[in-house]
Amino acid sequence: MSATAPEAHPAGPETQPQGRRERKKQRTREALIDAAFDLFAEKGFDATTVEEIADAVDVSSRTFFRYFASKEDVALTFQEEQFQALLNALTARPPDEPVITAMRRAVVGIMEAAERGELGFATERFDCMMTLMQDSTTLLAGSLEHAQKKQATLTRVVADRMGVDPAGDLRPHVVAATANCAFRAAADMIQEYREACGDVSLAEAADQAFAIIEGGLNFPSAPRPE
Amino acid sequence: MSATAPEAHPAGPETQPQGRRERKKQRTREALIDAAFDLFAEKGFDATTVEEIADAVDVSSRTFFRYFASKEDVALTFQEEQFQALLNALTARPPDEPVITAMRRAVVGIMEAAERGELGFATERFDCMMTLMQDSTTLLAGSLEHAQKKQATLTRVVADRMGVDPAGDLRPHVVAATANCAFRAAADMIQEYREACGDVSLAEAADQAFAIIEGGLNFPSAPRPE
DNA sequence: GTTCAAAGTGTCATAGGATGACAGATGTCG
DNA sequence: CGACATCTGTCATCCTATGACACTTTGAAC
């Protein structure tokens, strides 16, 4: 996940590959992703070795690393797709919406789409990622890192929409960070108190989180009972 | 940074160690930290090997891993200290302050203290960490992971202060996430646009970020010029 | 179709992070 | 001092990740 990424998550939408070579490459790539998730689901992220993934597709592990920069990378394919979808959704929002509203609708929309399996991947994959990240700190770290790195892009888009310069103006940075923040807050509550909050969907919780943030967070401290 | 951490960042405040063994252990630990940061500052995080750190203190690299769960761990010592200081600062805030105000003052206070070298470590170490994280994605990932894991603790403290139950109530989760968010937004702007924002301190920027969040983020989108 | 360059892959080699096992050294306490 | 716990070094091993080189496939130019 460090310096040189061969071609980290290119995975554009449906481009009809011209040559046989391209098609074969695409097939290998997807086979690796499938195999990886099967194994992850079966034995967890950490317990699955790159060699096992590669063997399942009958390529050498060296080849695996020609497709993915790291073991995390293959798992974060979907996160990358989600992020790209978010960018699209955000720019597609009507231009007269306040930024935070546009962001909120875009984020919630994407999460709903993901939950309905309407993005490039199945719902199980989405759930699987959530589960995996609870058990694997390295995967969690990778996911957070990915999100963090993408935040710079998001900031630029937000700044553009606001018509301000991201150098010197903190506001677009905060708005972009808020998207992250709302998602994390929602995911945290659901993961840590799964039984208590029952079947609240991530999308719903994120929407609530945005509502809370937009309210300004001005909650009183409780009077000390004692 | 995964499953078994030997004794990740214990580093309590000044406890007078009783036995010679304890003292020696403490000395080794600190020597490792010092050596690590010297080397990190000199050649960067990734380029420094555990063996080099261990050699500098004249212990085996196996011993290094008995003190720190990973190479990241030794670098995140200070982040852990900062977090503990934040918890203390937060609980020390007057009970009649609204939570978000208490959080804001606590966060900004800690960052100012860190910038003045008033915590357990020198200012250079603080700056060093910032620099290192720009160049090392693995360290960045570790830092984010650490922050994320601590957020659960922070959430509980916030919930306690608000007198609410963190299961089912999203608000404390959002407040806790906001602290993270404000810090990240501030750090991002300063790091990516260093020249533009000149000598704005991290503490100032974080304070501004809180102000923006408390305002509710209700910014209009710019009219499309063309 | 033949030829040639480019791209993809396998094999081998290597570095570094991290962990388990075990024996020896070093403290601690009675 | 002697018994015991703890710390440490050595060795062995696994896994991730990368570089180097040779071989094969593919696509394109002639």
Using DSSP's 3-state secondary structure scheme, residue B114 falls into helix
Asked if A185 and B177 come within 8 Å (Cβ–Cβ), the reply is: yes
Asked if B181 and A186 come within 8 Å (Cβ–Cβ), the reply is: no
- Model pLDDT for residues B181-191, shown as the tens digit of each residue: 999 999 989 88
- Model pLDDT for residues B30-80, shown as the tens digit of each residue: 999 999 999 999 999 999 999 999 999 999 999 999 999 999 999 999 999
CA-CA distance, A48 to A64, in Å (whole number)? 14
Whole-number distance in Å between A44 CA and D9 C1': 34
Q: Does B171 touch chain A (CB under 8 A)?
A: yes
Q: Which residue is nearest to nucleotide C15 (CA to C1')?
A: B49
- Work out the percent of chain B whose per-residue pLDDT is above 90: 69
Consecutive 10-residue averages of pLDDT for chain A (226 residues): 42 54 90 96 96 96 96 94 95 95 96 87 85 94 96 95 92 95 92 76 94 92 69
Judged against a pLDDT cut of 60, whether residue B104 lies above it is answered with yes
Would you place residue B10 in the very low, low, confident or very high pLDDT band (cuts 50, 70, 90)?
very low
CA-CA distance, B192 to A152, in Å (whole number)? 8
Closest CA–CA distance from residue B76 to any residue of chain A (Å):
14
Q: Which of residues 77-106 of A touch B (CB under 8 A)?
A: 95-100, 102
CA-angle at A205, arms to B141 and B79, nearest 5°: 25
Q: What is the pLDDT of residue A197?
A: 67
Q: What is the pLDDT of residue B224?
A: 64
Whole-number distance in Å between B129 CA and D23 C1': 46
The size of chain B, in residues, is 226
Whole-number distance in Å between A70 CA and D24 C1': 26
**Contact (CB, 8 A) for B201 and B115:** yes
Would you place residue B115 in the very low, low, confident or very high pLDDT band (cuts 50, 70, 90)?
confident
Would you place residue B16 in the very low, low, confident or very high pLDDT band (cuts 50, 70, 90)?
low
Q: What token pair was written down for B203?
A: 């503490």
Q: What token pair was written down for A98?
A: 């306040």
Q: In chain B, whose CA is at the least distance from the CA of A134?
A: B149
CA-CA distance, A9 to A84, in Å (whole number)? 11
- Model pLDDT for residues B134-145, shown as the tens digit of each residue: 999 999 999 999
Which of A145, A162, A208 shows the shortest C-beta gap to B219?
A: A162
Q: Does A59 touch chain B (CB under 8 A)?
A: no
Q: What is the pLDDT of residue B225?
A: 57
Find chain A residues with C-beta within 8 A of B1's C-beta: 137-138, 141
